[in-house]
Structures are given as structure tokens and as C-alpha cells.
């Protein structure tokens, strides 16, 4: 992290046909390419929750990827929330 870059937390809820299609694995790959830490996990209602921490620009790029239509499955919409990074996270895992 260079001077002036602060870390932020992105929480994104991905709606659509995103469970059982490799979406979490795909998301993990994009996040790791961007140097982000966090997780992607299935929710009981069929959504996937993505939590990513890192430089804001990289989190924004992940959000763009989630909305790109290039992921496995079919994304109907993505709801996002931004908050300060909490830290203490290592790697990016599928839950």
C-alpha cells in the first residue's frame, strides 16, 4: 500500500442464479488477482455475500466484475455497502 491509499471494506450481495455454478470460485480468483482479502459465501436465500477488503480502486474493480455478466451463472443485481476496513483477514476464502 502506497502513501495515501487507505483500505476499505466492500460488502456485496449478489442476486440471481449464483449458487452451484462456480460463482464463489470465480469471485475468489478475481479478488486474488486484485490483491484483496475476504470471502464469498452462499446465503440461505440463494444470494452470495462477498466481503472484500483492500484499496478502494481494487474493490471497485471487483464490484465491476461482479456486475459484468462474465461470471458463471446469471447475476440479476448486486447490492453494495461500503464501510471502513476491519482488518485481521488473511487470504480470500469460499464459505
* Residue 28 falls in the annotated catalytic set: no
Are 18 and 75 contacting, i.e. CB atoms less than 8 angstroms apart?
Answer: yes
Catalytic residue among 28, 30, 42, 56: 42
Catalytic residue among 9, 24, 30, 47: 24
* Residue 56 falls in the annotated catalytic set: no
CA–CA distance, 83 with 95 (Å, rounded to integer): 21
Provide the annotated active-site residues. Answer: 24, 42
Amino acid at each position: 500500500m502506497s502513501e495515501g491509499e487507505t483500505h476499505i471494506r466492500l460488502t456485496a450481495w449478489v442476486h440471481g442464479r449464483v449458487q452451484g455454478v462456480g460463482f464463489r470460485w470465480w469471485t475468489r480468483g478475481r479478488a486474488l488477482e486484485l490483491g484483496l482479502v475476504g470471502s464469498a459465501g452462499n446465503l440461505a436465500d440463494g444470494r452470495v455475500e462477498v466481503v472484500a477488503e483492500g484499496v478502494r480502486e481494487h474493490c471497485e474493480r471487483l464490484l465491476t466484475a461482479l456486475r459484468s455478466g462474465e461470471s458463471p451463472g446469471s447475476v440479476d443485481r448486486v447490492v453494495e455497502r461500503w464501510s471502513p476496513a476491519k482488518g485481521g483477514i488473511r487470504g480470500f476464502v469460499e464459505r
